[in-house]
């Protein structure tokens, strides 16, 4: 493990600050891993910790899997709402402390049926270890989907829970519940005849439905005036739509509503609809004034992916803030390059020889790219060879990926990922397994080589088990990862820093402290001194070199080719032909030129110039039309021969006239 983790934690806090600003509560994304283990066991715990520390509302699914021993799970205690499903599987910890979870909305379901699935929570080797209690003591509402609790031989609690109260009054909610083992402790006597989530007095099931007086969905007690407002889910503290424990539909600054304030309202005076200055977007089950960072605004909602027949538009508001939104296309949408998971690559999970052609020449990929071992395998069925270097080089033009970039297989003959050397932004609007925006695992690369990468806007970054990888510890990950969305970094089991140093695989001395993406002066994040093109250099060629340069900030920029290199001082003051100290050929006014203009049409007349002894271009005294002969200064006058061959002589003389 390397030291980046504490760092990650700081970014979690910033992440939460960012989304909190929009919603009033800490929102996190949730995951889409199901039972998969995308990295090592240690990293899995670390991912969960980074994802849920400080989180109150999980926007997607809460998947708690692959936990063993006695890890600190207190980071789960803040979670109050889950938008998708809750999955607890393959964990052998004693208890999962989701003490404050009130509502599971079930907008996505596990195995298309379940909002809460708790299965196979047993230690495969150590007999007797396994999940013992599910401390869901605040859970009083599951809006959609059923409950599956199976394959947990140690699970004593929940005990005697009345699920009818939680999954209310909706048909076809499957319940698959196993019997609890014998020899389990009873519920506390404080629970009376009711069920419980654990042994203590605080673990008794709170009923908010079955005992209500008739006609109300949720109540805080059995009396008629204990009824909750119809907009409440889970329960309430009083009768109003602002007294709910959770909102059935949308939370508009603490009041539960059917809809968020719409973009237009009806004006009863003019009988027309007019823009609503108080309009809000729906973001999950919350109404927000502005979509959070990295989300696209639609007419009434915030989204990560624009719907069909829409395009992404980035506008800069008068106050300088950038908003990204989806706009209906007029007619056909402009052609874009789709990546995995989008357009005609929907459902495709790997880049291979059959689809790499779709990325040729693209600078922005709408979607994701994943390189797995299948990418490089010969496929007899589709008769395709695995990806070759010549295929990968077609990716060089890519500058932006709206989804993720995930790589866990790569040709051994490549030392880096430099086919992505022009990639600037990974937006992370789609994430690998719902978690990673950038994943680089188990490769033989020696450096990342992503020298243009400046921003990873969402998700987690994982750099793991690349046994030869150096340089990556030097990088300024905190500025690469967008602070508001706070993607976090897990960097583990790569080449250790000491070995890298002893092998001399460290940043070039011309790189500044900010680090580098690989060896040599062209992989620096920033330069100690100056930069020429993509390469750091000690100094610019101001006074020497065949191409003379001037210094623009910290960049070396070549003088115009018409500037004459001079000795002892700078040859130019800027990039233009009017910024030379001396001209290479001729000087026309302030500008260095290869030839003096002659017979050049300008506005209504034709310009004729000759050059003098100091090679300045001077206007001829007489203008004339094209075919008039010239005098001995190369100016057109009456009745002289020689005009035709003059272009030949002028070449040898340096090109005064054509
Ligand atoms: C989910 O569905 C798959 C295939 O349909 C099945 O094999 C698996 O047992 C199901 N799991 C649960 C928890 O129902
Ligand atoms: C509604 O959101 C606010 C934050 O804006 C939060 O404090 C409150 O608890 C939420 N209310 C419900 C019922 O979810
Ligand atoms: C597979 O490709 C090879 C050459 O690329 C070709 O000769 C062969 O006929 C192809 N086979 C099939 C089944 O398409
Ligand atoms: C680490 O990477 C190597 C390949 O370099 C691979 O064989 C091994 O399975 C990986 N280990 C883990 C734990 O992913």
As a three-state string, the secondary structure of 545-594 is CCCCEEEECCEEEECCCCECCCCCCCCECCCCCCCECCECCEEECCEEEC
Q: Indicate the length of the chain as a whole number.
A: 658
Which residue among 441, 442, 446 is best mutated to probe the pocket of ligand 4, counting the most ligand atoms within 8 A of its Cβ? 442
| Class (C level, CATH) for 348-506 | alpha beta
Pinpoint the residues of the chain covered by CATH 3.80.20.20.
Answer: 2-203, 348-506
Compute, in angstroms, the gap from residue 98 CA to the centroid of ligand 2. 19
Measured from the CA of 443, which atom of ligand 4 is nearest?
5
Q: Which residue's structure tokens are 């419980």?
A: 196
| Class (C level, CATH) for 596-658 | mainly beta
User: What's the farthest any 2 CA atoms get from each other in the chain?
Assistant: 124
Q: What angle do CA 500, 501, 503 make, to 5 degrees?
A: 65
φ, ψ of residue 586 in degrees (nearest 5): -130, 160
Q: Is 622 in the pocket of ligand 2 (CB under 6 A)?
A: no
Of the bound ligands, which one is closest to the alpha carbon of residue 380? 3
| Class (C level, CATH) for 264-328 | mainly beta
Of the bound ligands, which one is closest to the alpha carbon of residue 110? 1
**Quick one: which of 327, 579, 436 has its CA closest to 46?**
436
**Quick one: which of 92, 98, 4 has its CA closest to 55?**
98
Structure tokens at 503: 């092998």
Write down the pLDDT at residue 587: 95
Protein residue closest via CA to atom 6 of ligand 2: 254
What are the residues facing 602 on neighbouring strands?
605
Measured from the CA of 23, which atom of ligand 2 is nearest?
5
Write down the pLDDT at residue 481: 79
Protein residue closest via CA to atom 14 of ligand 1: 111
Protein residue closest via CA to atom 2 of ligand 2: 254
User: Terminal CA-to-CA distance of the chain, rounded, Å?
Assistant: 71
Number of H helices, E strands in the chain: 7, 43
Digit-coded pLDDT (tens) for 439-452: 999 999 999 999 99
φ, ψ of residue 3 in degrees (nearest 5): -85, 10
Measured from the CA of 111, which atom of ligand 1 is nearest?
1
Q: b/e string for 101-130 if b means 16 or more Cβ within 10 A?
A: bbbbbbbbbbeebbbbbbbbbbbeeeeebb
Pinpoint the residues of the chain covered by CATH 2.10.220.10.
Answer: 264-328
Q: b/e string for 83-93 if b means 16 or more Cβ within 10 A?
A: bbbbbbbbbbb
DSSP 163: H
Q: Is 25 in the pocket of ligand 2 (CB under 6 A)?
A: yes
DSSP 157: B
Protein residue closest via CA to atom 5 of ligand 4: 442
Write down the pLDDT at residue 341: 95
Helix (H) or strand (E) holding 501: helix 497-502
Q: Is 90 in the pocket of ligand 1 (CB under 6 A)?
A: no
CA 388 → CA 144, 265, 531, distances in Å? 47, 58, 33
CATH architecture of 2-203: Alpha-Beta Horseshoe (3.80)
User: Alpha carbon 456 to chain centroid distance?
Assistant: 5
Protein residue closest via CA to atom 13 of ligand 4: 40
3-class DSSP state of 358: helix
- Which residues of the chain fall below pLDDT 50? 1-18, 486-487, 638-658
Write down the pLDDT at residue 557: 96
Compute, in angstroms, the gap from residue 348 CA to the centroid of ligand 3. 23
Asked whether the CA dihedral 49, 54, 60, 61 is positive or negative, the reply is positive
Measured from the CA of 113, which atom of ligand 1 is nearest?
14
Structure tokens at 470: 């150096």
Which residue among 36, 87, 89, 111 is best mutated to probe the pocket of ligand 1, counting the most ligand atoms within 8 A of its Cβ? 111
Instruction: Pinpoint the alpha helices (H) of 310-419.
Output: 389-392
Give yes or no for a contact between 121 and 97, defined as CB atoms under 8 angstroms apart: no
d(CA 416, CA 405): 15
Q: Which residue's structure tokens are 């002893």?
A: 502
Digit-coded pLDDT (tens) for 61-87: 999 999 999 999 999 999 999 999 999
Digit-coded pLDDT (tens) for 303-324: 999 998 999 998 887 877 778 8
Q: Is 247 in the pocket of ligand 2 (CB under 6 A)?
A: yes
Compute, in angstroms, the gap from residue 457 CA to the centroid of ligand 2. 27
The 10 Å Cβ neighbour count of residue 411 is: 16
Protein residue closest via CA to atom 7 of ligand 4: 442
Q: Is 289 in the pocket of ligand 2 (CB under 6 A)?
A: no
Q: Is 148 in the pocket of ligand 1 (CB under 6 A)?
A: yes
Q: Is 373 in the pocket of ligand 4 (CB under 6 A)?
A: no
Which residues are within 8 A (CB) of 324 and not within 5 positions of it... i.e. 6 or more apart?
Answer: 295, 296, 297, 312, 313, 314
Compute, in angstroms, the gap from residue 357 CA to the centroid of ligand 3. 18
Q: Is 40 in the pocket of ligand 4 (CB under 6 A)?
A: yes
Write down the pLDDT at residue 567: 92
């Amino acid at each position: 493990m390397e030291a980046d983790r504490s760092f990650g934690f700081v970014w979690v806090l910033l992440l939460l600050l960012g989304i909190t600003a929009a919603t009033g509560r800490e929102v996190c994304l949730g995951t889409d891993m199901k039972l998969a283990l995308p990295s090592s066991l240690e990293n899995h715990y670390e991912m969960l910790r980074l994802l849920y520390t400080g989180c109150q509302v999980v926007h997607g699914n809460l998947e708690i899997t692959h936990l063993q021993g006695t890890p600190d799970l207190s980071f789960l205690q803040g979670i109050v709402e889950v938008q998708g499903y809750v999955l607890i599987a393959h964990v052998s910890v004693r208890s999962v402390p989701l003490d404050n979870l009130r509502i599971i909305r079930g907008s996505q379901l596990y195995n298309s049926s379940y909002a809460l699935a708790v299965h196979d929570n047993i230690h495969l080797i150590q007999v007797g270890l396994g999940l013992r209690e599910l401390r869901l003591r605040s859970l009083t509402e599951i809006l959609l989907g059923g409950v599956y609790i199976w394959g947990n031989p140690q699970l004593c609690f929940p005990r005697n829970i009345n699920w009818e109260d939680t999954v209310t009054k909706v048909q076809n909610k499957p319940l698959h519940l196993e019997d609890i083992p014998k020899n389990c402790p009873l519920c506390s006597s404080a629970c009376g005849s009711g069920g419980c989530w654990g042994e203590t007095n605080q673990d008794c099931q709170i009923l908010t439905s079955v005992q209500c007086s008739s006609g109300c969905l949720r109540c805080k007690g059995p009396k008629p005036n204990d009824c909750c407002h119809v907009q409440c889910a889970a329960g309430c503290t009083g009768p109003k739509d602002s007294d709910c424990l959770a909102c059935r539909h949308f939370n508009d600054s603490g009041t539960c509503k059917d809809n968020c304030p719409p973009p237009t309202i009806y004006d009863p005076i003019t009988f027309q609809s007019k823009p609503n200055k108080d309009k809000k977007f729906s973001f999950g089950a919350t109404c927000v004034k502005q979509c959070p960072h990295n989300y696209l605004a639609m007419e009434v909602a915030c989204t990560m992916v624009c719907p069909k027949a829409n395009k992404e538009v980035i506008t800069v508001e008068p106050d300088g803030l950038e908003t990204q939104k989806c706009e209906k296309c007029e007619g056909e949408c402009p052609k874009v390059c789709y990546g995995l998971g989008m357009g005609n690559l929907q459902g495709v999970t790997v880049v291979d020889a059959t689809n790499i052609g779709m990325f040729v020449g693209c600078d922005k990929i709408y979607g994701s790219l994943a390189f797995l071992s299948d990418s490089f395998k010969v496929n007899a069925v589709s008769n395709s060879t695995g990806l070759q270097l010549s295929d990968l080089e077609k990716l060089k033009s890519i500058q932006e990926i709206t989804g993720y970039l995930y790589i866990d297989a790569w040709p051994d003959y490549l030392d880096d990922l430099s086919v992505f050397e022009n990639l600037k932004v990974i937006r992370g609007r789609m994430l690998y397994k719902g978690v990673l925006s950038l994943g680089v695992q188990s490769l033989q690369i020696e450096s990342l080589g992503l020298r243009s990468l400046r921003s990873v806007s969402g998700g987690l970054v994982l750099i793991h088990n690349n046994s030869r990888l150096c340089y990556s510890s030097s990088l300024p990950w905190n500025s690469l990862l967008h602070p508001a969305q706070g993607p976090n970094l897990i960097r583990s089991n790569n080449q250790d820093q000491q070995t890298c140093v002893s092998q001399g695989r460290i940043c070039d001395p011309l790189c500044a402290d900010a680090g580098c993406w690989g060896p040599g002066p062209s992989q620096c994040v920033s330069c100690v001194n100056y930069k020429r093109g993509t390469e750091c250099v000690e100094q610019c060629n101001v006074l020497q070199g065949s191409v003379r340069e001037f210094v623009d900030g910290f960049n070396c920029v070549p003088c115009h080719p018409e500037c004459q290199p001079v000795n002892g001082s700078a040859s130019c003051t800027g990039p233009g032909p009017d910024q030379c100290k001396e001209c290479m050929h001729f000087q026309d006014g302030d500008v260095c030129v290869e030839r003096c203009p002659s017979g050049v049409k300008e506005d209504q007349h034709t310009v004729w110039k000759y050059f003098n002894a100091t090679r300045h271009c001077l206007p001829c005294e007489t203008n004339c039309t094209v075919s008039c002969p010239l005098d001995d200064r190369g100016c057109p006058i009456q009745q002289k021969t020689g005009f035709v061959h003059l272009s030949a002589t002028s070449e040898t003389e340096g090109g005064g006239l054509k």
